[in-house]
Amino acid sequence: MGSYEGPVLDTVFYAPSVVNSPGGIQSDMCHSRERLTQIVRRPVRLEATEKLEAIRQRDKEHYGKPDYTSQWTVAPNPPFLPTYGQVECEYSEKEKQIGDPTTLIMIDEADRLRMASLEQVRSIFDAAEIGLILIGMPGL
């Protein structure tokens, strides 16, 4: 039996305004999908923040006290590993690997969409290869 990771976040729910345009629909959908991606990436960011804080604390403790035993005038102390930059790069790559998680777009009050806006929704659906549910559209 697999471990429970939490809810799967892969659906965008959208309700168009009464007055809408294809450009506005495109912009709203992009914004909603980007927000969903940011929510899915949040655990990676939190883990990175914890590791980076541990490195900051480690470096603060080390560099905060004088070291009279090393020959720092001759050669600098070797850096502690991992460095802040290495961890930042590692987690930046992890975030990039998390693509757009959207697999379904649900549009409520779809009867508000004019034909041009509906064509824009269809274009988004075709380009992204995701599911689409139109709610509140009589006769469909």
- pLDDT for res 74: 59
Global model pTM greater than 0.85: no
Amino acid code (one letter) for 79: P
- pLDDT for res 21: 95
Q: Are 16 and 107 in contact (CB under 8 A)?
A: yes
Domains in the chain: boundaries: 11-134
Tell me which DSSP letter residue 2 carries. P
- pLDDT for res 89: 92
Instruction: Give pLDDT tens digits for 49-76.
Output: 999 999 988 888 877 666 566 555 555 6
pLDDT band, very low/low/confident/very high, at 37 (cuts 50, 70, 90) = very high
Q: Are 69 and 95 in contact (CB under 8 A)?
A: no
DSSP characters for 82-115? Answer: S-HHHHHHHHHHHHHHS-----EEEESSGGG--H
- The label of the residue with tokens 């976040």 reads 9
**110 CB neighbour count, 10 Å cutoff:** 21
Amino acid code (one letter) for 28: D
Going by C-alpha positions, the residue among 36, 37, 42 that lies closest to residue 14 is 36
Residues 6+ apart with CB under 8 A from 49: none
pLDDT band, very low/low/confident/very high, at 120 (cuts 50, 70, 90) = very high
Beta bridge partners of 107: 14, 134
- pLDDT for res 139: 66
Q: What is the average pLDDT across 62-91?
A: 73
Going by C-alpha positions, the residue among 126, 109, 123 that lies closest to residue 26 is 123
In the predicted structure, residue 4 carries a pLDDT above the cut 60:
no
- pLDDT for res 1: 42
Tokens read off for 132:
């689409």
128-133-139 Cα angle (round to 5): 130
Instruction: Give pLDDT tens digits for 10-24.
Output: 999 999 999 999 999
Greater pLDDT, 66 or 3: 66
Q: What is the average pLDDT across 43-47?
A: 95
